[in-house]
Amino acid sequence: MALRKTLTLAGSDTSGGAGIQADLKTFQEHGTYGMTALTTIVAMDPENHWHHQVFPIDVETVKIQLKTALSVGIDAMKTGMLPTVEIIEVAGQAIKQSGITNVVIDPVMVCKGEDEVLLPENTVAMREHLLPVATVVTPNLFEAGQLAEMGALRSVEEMKEAAKRIHDLGAKHVVIKGGSELKTEKAVDLYFDGDTFELLEAEKVDSTYNHGAGCTFAAAITANLANGKSVKEAVHAAKAFVTAAIEHGWKLNEYVGPVMHGAYNKK
């Protein structure tokens, strides 16, 4: 079988656990050929409690990277941190024009442990330009509440309502990650295909070493789609992959603990 090509349009996480670094490691673990289009650079200030600083890439530079990557014919792609409205618009247009069918939108709005949320106008732009081109969208509880205009989500019932609203905005499949935020015994995610709901459950890991979990989950879905799995199969396999990664999360320094991207294949 020819090597399947995967693309991430996302930010660089200098600390290596999230962003394009998580995506490439995850793509590799799934035996796909990973490519990147960089949207922003995130650096951390070691002298100021590891405070995140975000340096967006010029929109023309994002455009030319997308043109380059999409010209080779991509089997599946994902988006991650998109720092400006202009970049979100360019992403939506490029995806639409390319005709690519396996598109995972991870609507990153905030980094774990950081209070600063990306600008509210970015959420508006995501609704308009990214949800309509999404094969799968993977918001966490906070992001789903923002996209659905429902504020904080606290229960599976509220997650169901949010999933319906997000589906109505154009995303074909919706996965809302309850993760460690939802007050349930297990780590519960809700999957909605526009027709039926399914709960994906895994043991909740008692750990704060979960940096990059969201990116890893979305990248695993992307690689599984590239490898020919159905959306439902791709999501289930990604859940097992990310659970193992969280179980083996580790301490990089006193501020951040990344997941172990390759843990699933070492089991």
Q: How many CB atoms lie within 10 A of CB 140?
A: 26
239 binds, among ligand ADP, ligand PLP, none (CB under 5 to 8 A by kind): ligand ADP
32 binds, among ligand PLP, ligand ADP, none (CB under 5 to 8 A by kind): none
Q: What's the closest the beta carbon of residue 19 comes to ligand PLP, in angstroms? A: 3
For the segment 35-64, give every residue that binds ligand PLP (CB under 6 A). 42
Q: Cα(first)–Cα(last) distance of the chain, in Å?
A: 25
Q: What's the closest the beta carbon of residue 247 comes to ligand ADP, in angstroms? A: 8
| Residue from the set 20, 22, 153, 242 that interacts with ligand ADP by CB under 6 A | 242
| Residue from the set 6, 26, 102, 140 that interacts with ligand ADP by CB under 6 A | 140
Q: Give the Cα-Cα-Cα angle 39, 44, 48 (nearest 5 degrees).
A: 145
Nearer of residues 57 and 259 to ligand ADP, judged by Cβ: 259
> In what order do the strands lie in the sheet containing 187-192?
51-56, 33-45, 5-13, 76-79, 103-105, 136-137, 173-177, 187-192, 197-202
For residues 92 to 111, the per-residue mask of contacts with ligand PLP, x marking binding by CB under 6 A and - elsewhere, is: ----------------x--x
Instruction: Give yes or no for a contact between 206 and 244, defined as CB atoms under 8 angstroms apart.
Output: no
211 binds, among ligand ADP, ligand PLP, none (CB under 5 to 8 A by kind): ligand PLP
Distance from C-alpha of 88 to C-alpha of 54, rounded to nearest angstrom:
16
Residue 176 CB burial class (10 angstroms; 0-12, 13-18, ≥19): buried
Number of chain residues interacting with ligand ADP (CB under 6 A): 18
Nearer of residues 98 and 140 to ligand ADP, judged by Cβ: 140
Distance of CA 206 to the CA centre of its chain: 22
Tokens representing 253 are 């320094």
Q: Which residues make up the interface to ligand ADP (CB under 6 A)?
A: 140, 177-180, 187, 189, 202, 204-205, 210, 213-214, 217, 239, 242-243, 246
